[in-house]
Amino acid sequence: MTNQLKQTYYFVLLACVFALGVYLQGAGTIDDFLYYQEDIVYLTVQHIELVLLSGGLAILIAIPVGVLLSRPRFQKVAESAMQVLNVGTTIPTLAILALAMSFLGIGTVPAVFGLTIASLLPIVRNTYIGLKEVPAHLKEAASGIGMTELQMLFQVEIPNALFVIFAGIRTALAVNVGTVPLAFLIGGGGLGELIFTGIDLDEPIMMLAGAIPTAMLAIAIDSVVGAVSYVTVPKGCNPIRARQ
Amino acid sequence: MIKIDKLTKIFETPNGPVTAADHIEMEVPSGEICVLLGPSGCGKTTTLKMVNRIIPATSGKIYLGGEDTSGMDTVTLRRNIGYVIQQIGLFPNMTISENIAVVPKLLGWDKARYMTRAKELLEMVALDPSIFLNRYPNELSGGQQQRIGVARALAADPPVMLMDEPFGAIDPINREVIQDEFLKMQQELNKTIMFVSHDIDEAVKMADRIAIFRDGHLVQYDTPDDLLAHPKDDFVKNFVGDDRALKRLRLVTAESVMQTTFAYVKPNDTLAEALTKIDAYGYRDAVILVNDLHQPIGYVPKATAINMKGYCGEHYVGLKTIARTTDDLRKVASKMFTHDIVWMPCVDENGRLVGEVTQRGITHYLGATYQRDTSPSQPQPLHQAKEAS
């Protein structure tokens, strides 16, 4: 996404929010909405906790796995491992959560477990591909001047793959934020509580009180990861900064 | 010094074993550039890369400075060898100074020392440190990047350098410039260099010795002049080209073929004196005229000296061109062809006349080495017939 597109995207979003606000104020629904304020704050914090916990775990597990799979000695198993992970993502997240519940019970633990599993693949895949696509001549130069394997990994391979790895993290977290509401179904809490209860009670305002913060959270987290990636990826191999 | 002893590489491929290098034996004396030359797949790159174990050797030994490298661990070995590759391989995530300082950092130098070294090397490769130190590789042109590539290889001052077609990806004009700069640097640095190329002209220009490879075998290992003058077989002959005698022009400077006993006249000499000198030295055409600073400014043609009276300063013809002692013969010959002349005066760096280069002198010098081919046992006419066909 170019920066211009992104700006337009944010602008349209803001305009929509504004129009919605005007409409809702007119209909008196803002007051109804504010009725849930306390719930929103509490559940949003819970929602963020779930995202950070499961997302963080996913990053901590997925990056080393991706790194390992990209090493020459795992070359033979790497492709089949990626296939297994691919199959893993075709399982609906709801099913994963249900499975997690069936052997971990209800509550935060199975929710975090399920969400972590669901977020693994994009990060593993991007780490693996990012590292694999570091040009062979860079690796030859690195080993030719006497870098050890670890030095090469940290000084050459990871910095050059970082942009792609961050893209994976971004995708994973975006999916994660959107999936957390399902965690409510297995007692994990989060903004899903307002959404699903709102649906069940046929209370659209209550449902929106969960849905709108979820959407905003998704955007906020995406921007944060984007900003972190902008700063962290070295200038010389950062396509966004190179374009400027 | 690099010594290679019975170095062999056999690749196991699905179609059976392929011998990429077969018992290669060669020695590169200290401070010399050895160019490994040959068509693709001849084993030259494999041989080079076995020296720093990018490709592990199947058998055979490599000695650096007399020491057997098979006992050294790979990382130490490589940190003592400068390595330059065709794709340059600068790390895009690092600035230029970081790229140059990679090896010094690995060796544990302190920051002040490797930053000073980076600046020093940038100056050595003719790039302004204040501009380039903090740039990233993708902000540089190909030629600039390869200069940095060479600087990086030189950073820790390794005695030996391996260069795998280092200038192959650079446009011809910049390539000449970089080659010249590199040769100038090498004069001071005196590294022992192995250099892979597939370009005979580059090899002739850069090399102290050339090794010609074919199908994993070292066919001929000689100085450029011997290689061009005495190619060992038809393969080498074809590889160095039909114009191999012309290529030798590049290897010889005007100084080595110029005649240092020659006659000249001054502006105040009379034409009669000029004629005496022309006859005394047996010149057919003319005699050189020099000014008070001993710089050649023209010549007095024989016809003028015979038919006219007066002083040389009044009846000379201006010079079309002159040669410098440091010019190679290719440049001299080119000047001769341009101006349709068969001789020209040769001057030192101050422009003072030190000799004269003649077409005969050049052909005589180049031809001398062929005399050794002409032994009575060789039926000369047959040889010529073969050449002609």
The 10s digit of each residue's pLDDT in B134-163 is 999 999 998 999 999 999 999 999 999 999
pLDDT at position B382 is 42
pLDDT at position B108 is 92
Residue B371 included in any domain: no
pLDDT at position A208 is 87
Same domain for A115 and A22: no
Angle made by CA atoms B248, B251, B253, in degrees to the nearest 5: 120
Q: Give the residues of chain A that fall short of pLDDT 50.
A: none
How do beta strands B192-197 and B33-37 pair? parallel
Chain A residues touching residue B93 (CB < 8 angstroms): 156, 159-160, 162, 234, 236-237
Same domain for A105 and A9: no
Give the DSSP letter string of B115-172.
HHHHHHHHHHTT--HHHHTT--GGGS-HHHHHHHHHHHHHTT--SEEEEESTTTTS-H
* Mean pLDDT value across residues B254-259: 88
Same domain for B327 and B279: yes
Domain span including residue B288: 255-365
pLDDT at position A83 is 87
Closest Cα in chain B, distance from residue A135 (Å): 9
Same domain for A199 and A83: yes
Residue B289 included in any domain: yes
Closest Cα in chain A, distance from residue B49 (Å): 9
Size of chain B in residues: 389
Name the residue of chain B whose CA is nearest to A138's CA: B89
Tally the domains of chain A.
2
Same domain for B234 and B274: no
Residue B189 included in any domain: yes
Same domain for A115 and A4: no
pLDDT at position B279 is 87
Structure-block tokens of residue A175: 């999916």
* Mean pLDDT value across residues B318-339: 90
B381 has a pLDDT exceeding 60: no
pLDDT at position A23 is 84
Chain B residues touching residue A236 (CB < 8 angstroms): 91-95, 136-138
Q: Do B329 and B358 form a contact (C-beta atoms < 8 A)?
A: no
Chain B residues touching residue A138 (CB < 8 angstroms): 89, 91-92
pLDDT at position A4 is 85
Of B88, B92, B102, the CB nearest to A145: B102
B387 has a pLDDT exceeding 50: no
Same domain for A91 and A12: no
Of B52, B76, B94, the CB nearest to A144: B52
Q: Distance of alpha carbon B334 from its chain centroid, rounded?
A: 18
Of A138, A140, A146, the CB nearest to B103: A146
Domain boundary among B196, B218, B251: B251
Closest Cα in chain A, distance from residue B93 (Å): 5
B236 has a pLDDT exceeding 70: yes
Regarding an ipTM greater than 0.90, the answer is: no
Domain span including residue A9: 1-34
Same domain for B179 and B271: no
Residue B235 included in any domain: yes
* Mean pLDDT value across residues B337-344: 90
Q: How far apart are CA B274 and CA B289, in angstroms?
A: 9
Which of B47-51, B84-88, B363-367 has the least mean pLDDT?
B363-367
What's the pLDDT band for B374 if we cut at 50, 70, 90? low
Residue B128 included in any domain: yes
Same domain for B245 and B259: no
Same domain for B332 and B221: no
Phi and psi, residue B78, nearest 5°: -70, -35
Q: Which amino acid is at A96?
A: I
Same domain for A131 and A25: no
Query: Rounded mean pLDDT of chain B?
Result: 89
Q: A159, B93: Cβ pair inside 8 Å?
A: yes
pLDDT in tens, A140-153: 999 999 999 999 99
Same domain for B244 and B279: no
B275 has a pLDDT exceeding 90: no
pLDDT in tens, B96-133: 999 999 999 999 999 999 999 999 999 999 899 999 99
* Mean pLDDT value across residues B80-93: 92
Same domain for B174 and B49: yes
Residue B381 included in any domain: no
Closest Cα in chain A, distance from residue B262 (Å): 55
Model's pTM, two decimal places? 0.81
Q: A234, B75: Cβ pair inside 8 Å?
A: no
Same domain for A69 and A22: no
Same domain for B268 and B151: no
Tally the domains of chain B.
2
pLDDT at position A225 is 92
